[in-house]
Structure 1
Amino acid sequence: MNKNEKLQHFNDLCKNTLMETLNIEFVAMGDDFLTAKMPVNSKVHQPYGQLHGGATAALAESVGSAASNFFIELESQYVNGIELTINHIKSKREGVVFATAKNIHKGRSTHLWEVRVEDEEGDLISICKLTSIVLNKKS
């Protein structure tokens, strides 16, 4: 599967999920990263008209968890996020944010990701750390 097919596969998996509700779309990937984007509008605002931290956290966990799929046996394993820490640096009212996950640690049972959430100008909105656990599917 080439990169475009993998991105399309990830986007297809998002149908009828929170990712579709938040309009999260996987847009780029490389050997050491995966990037998704999310529009910033009233659907993801908190009551004061700014990007909700929970929406940002959902974006970060979505891209980090999806990136873990690069490193597992999809037929017999799956990934769950087990810890997410996030620091919000700057507010955002409209436009688009991009979350890029880069692997820090790739173990057999856990993966650690740094996820940078930036706006269209490349300004840092939030910085996140995600720990995922690799689990075996039940037969």
Structure 2
Amino acid sequence: MPMWRKLGRKKLKKVELKISHVLPNTEPIHEELVNMAAHIKERSNGTLIVQVYPDSELGNNKDNLEQAMRGANIVTVADPGYMADCIPDYGIMDGPFLYDDYKDIQKLAASAWHQEMVKASAENGIPRNNSNIFEGEICLKWFLKTLKKSLAEQP
């Protein structure tokens, strides 16, 4: 059951969340993020507003990652290579030809090694990161699940 339904008729504070990425607004992932934002606004009765910023409008991947690390209310959609700026070992996930299909990404993301990278990320001020994403239906389901969990952890 969604968080906003559990709270019943209690007046909820309006929350705004920015999602930034460097891709053009013609990319399928951007279109799905916009659809997701509309769906979230509808399902939350307007208490959760998600704004999607394409084309590096809020900065490049490194800028957005730094904003998130400093506590800004922002989600950045970027490849794992940018995480290597903070945790050098993370860069291995961006290696070419590592994966035959998305199941390989899921397997690596579930590994003990990846859990160590997530822990190192948190220790470096990155509150949540996931590396098992890719464009498509599974990406959207993952994103919604992660967003829901992140919001539930907010004070």
Indicate whether the TM-score tops 0.5: no
TM-score in terms of structure 2 length: 0.23
TM-score in terms of structure 1 length: 0.24
Q: Hey, which of these two has a bigger chunk of helix by percent?
A: 2
Structure of higher CA gyration radius: 2
- Greater RCO (Cα-Cα under 8 Å, separation 6 or more): 1
